[in-house]
Amino acid sequence: MRSIAAIAATMVLVSSPAAAESEESDREIPLAHIEYTSGLTVDFSDSRPSNEVGMSQLGIIGRAPLIAWDRSNSYLQTYLEITPSDVPVPQRLVDDHGPDLPAELQRRRITSEPVTVRGLTAPAGAVLSASCTAEYWSWHLWHDNAKAGMAPKSYTTHDFGGFKERRAESFVFNCLPEGSPSHLWAQHRVYYWNGTSWWKHADEKVGPGLQAEEVKGSIKRHRKVTYGDSWGSSPDCLSGACKYTREGRFTS
């Protein structure tokens, strides 16, 4: 079985007009990189200057389901649930959680260094998308079923009542089968409003045969998620086979 890392290493990232634009971006600071034997990878990160924590998952469709984590949890609680007790805990996740710390933390070593751990058995409870158009979450604010020629689109908190939200959550399912040309990726980008302009939190390209989740945010802000692809939304790409599903929401 090809690993996520092997797939990523062979990807040829072709520039698109959207990607070529100059954008203000946060500096991402890795907190933890976790690899499971199923092929799933989970990453936790911090960002500057926004000072917000995030989590991302990347899995192989049909073989490496994403972890279904409780959205009422903090990033720290999620980290504690998906890693065994001998894996160190990033200090930044502890700081982000606040004063009422989980009892489980008393049995864990806390570190200020980035954590990397491989070869873990994926925890029980996972979401395996049954088809290209399957809904990932039990509720969502948008869900665009895969279709050839689907145009790029952005969603913001202003589209859903205009309230500031703590998190932006996005899911992408690249419907092309594994082994398709690696440059045919779908993309989601996550932004926050800093008071004068949109700043980019995260930018992820999801290759053929992969599904990905990106979650970012800790404090209430206006937020945006933007979608696109490397085939320029052409309905003729691979005779109409170039398709992806996108889904997302903003949460308090």
214, 202 contact by CB (below 8 A): yes
Predicted pLDDT of residue 29: 96
Nearest Cα neighbor of 213 from 179, 244, 248 is: 248
Predicted pLDDT of residue 125: 63
- Whole-angstrom CA distances from 39 to 49, 169, 206 are 32, 22, 15
Retrieve residue 87's tokens.
């894996």
Predicted pLDDT of residue 233: 97
The four Cα atoms 56, 219, 114, 106 give a dihedral, to 10 degrees, of: -110
Give 67-71 contacts, CB < 8 A, sequence gap 24+: 67/40, 67/42, 67/122, 67/123, 67/125, 67/126, 67/127, 68/125, 68/126, 68/127, 71/169, 71/251
Predicted pLDDT of residue 130: 59
Q: Characterize the bridge pairing of strands 52-60 and 210-216.
A: antiparallel
Those residues of the chain that have pLDDT short of 70 are: 1-21, 125-130
Retrieve residue 10's tokens.
């062979």
Predicted pLDDT of residue 19: 40
Nearest Cα neighbor of 246 from 142, 172, 191 is: 172
